[in-house]
Amino acid sequence: MTQDLEQWLGRRQTVTDTVSVVQVRQMAATLDDAVRMTQPDSAALPAGWHWLYFNPMEIHSKLGSDGHPLRGDFLPPVELPRRMWAGSRLKWTRAFSVGSVVEKSSEIIKLTRKSGRSGDMVFVTVSHSYSDVQGPVLTEEHDIVYRGNPSEDEKAALSELAAKVAQSGFSAERSFERQGEHSKAVHADPVMLFRYSAATFNGHRIHYDLDYSRQIEGYPGLVVHGPLIATLLLGFVENQIAPGRSIKSFEFRAHRPTFDFSEFHLHASSTDDKNTLNLWSTNNLGQVGLDGRVTLA
């Protein structure tokens, strides 16, 4: 790790946002939730929907070529071009209230440089704490990974994935790397990805600019947002597996990207602890994409 990056350890920032009904309605529309779209403040904010808020807003001239704000302000000026959401660990004290004013305090707590078969990588971990007038609401650790441009091997593997999906399609008979006791098919098409990007004010071009995603970052299609998949998994628990129960904690790690060109699946299975579920997604070919665990209050 260079001395320049070490200087970013311990850097802090605080932002305040209102849990506005506007984004609640936008997210409800994106996820086809007609009831919540018409009654956005009738219940507490669903788990994971806090990612609609507190997102960096920068003028256009201060954006990088990937659509993200230029680095070197709060986040360190990592020289590697590709940025990905690697995982998170979240613990709720209670749910966010729609309409509340919330303060988010963030601190960079870890910086690690690694090299391996997939090339150089820099991991940045940011700790977030959220509170409103009633006190703490959520604590979260967010892992970001920066990587170099895709190797020829990586491009070939991603092209092979797309070819396999195009050749065979995706049917209920397809085998999964891991099958859950509960499962649900989801198709995050380009419209859903665009609307989620808009609701979160996320300018990262891999989610809506197909030419950029293919030609610059080497992906075979548009990339489904990691936090969108995580939010869908949390909604799967709240709405279908354990309706009426609130979520106490959730941790997940991203292993493989998922794309817009076919269905992917959400999975959940019980554990020895009746309050804990293993929760994961499988990508367009049935391989584990995002792997996690949720604890119910």
Q: What is the CATH number of the domain that holds 204?
A: 3.10.129.10
Structure confidence by residue, pLDDT tens digits, 12-39: 999 999 999 999 999 999 999 999 999 9
Half-sphere exposure of 41 (CA within 13 A, CB side): 9
Q: What would the two tokens of residue 158 be?
A: 């991603």
- In tens digits, what is the pLDDT along the chain, a chain of 297 residues? 455 788 999 999 999 999 999 999 999 999 999 999 999 999 999 999 999 999 988 899 888 899 888 887 899 999 898 899 999 999 999 999 999 999 999 999 999 998 877 788 999 999 999 999 999 999 999 999 999 888 888 888 878 877 887 776 655 456 899 999 999 999 999 999 999 999 999 999 999 999 999 988 889 999 999 999 999 999 999 999 999 999 999 999 999 999 999 999 999 999 999 999 999 999 998 999 999 999 999
Distance between CA atoms of residues 258 and 284, nearest Å: 6
Query: Can you give the C-alpha Rg of the chain in angstroms?
Result: 19
Distance between CA atoms of residues 143 and 125, nearest Å: 4
Residue with tokens 């950029």: 212
Q: What's the pLDDT at 163? A: 82
User: Domains in the chain: how many in total?
Assistant: 1
At residue 206's C-alpha, the angle toward residues 204 and 207, to 5°, is: 80
Are residues 140 and 227 in contact, defined by beta-carbon separation less than 8 angstroms? no
Are residues 158 and 220 in contact, defined by beta-carbon separation less than 8 angstroms? yes
Q: What's the pLDDT at 156? A: 82
Q: What's the pLDDT at 168? A: 65
b/e string for 62-72 if b means 16 or more Cβ within 10 A? eeeebbbbebe
Q: What's the pLDDT at 230? A: 98
Distance between CA atoms of residues 201 and 171, nearest Å: 33
Q: What's the pLDDT at 172? A: 45
Structure confidence by residue, pLDDT tens digits, 124-150: 999 999 999 999 999 999 999 999 888
Domain of 188?
3-296
Q: What would the two tokens of residue 222 be?
A: 């548009």
b/e string for 136-170 if b means 16 or more Cβ within 10 A? ebbbbbbbbbbbeebeeebbeebeebbeebeeeeb
Eight-class DSSP state of 42: S
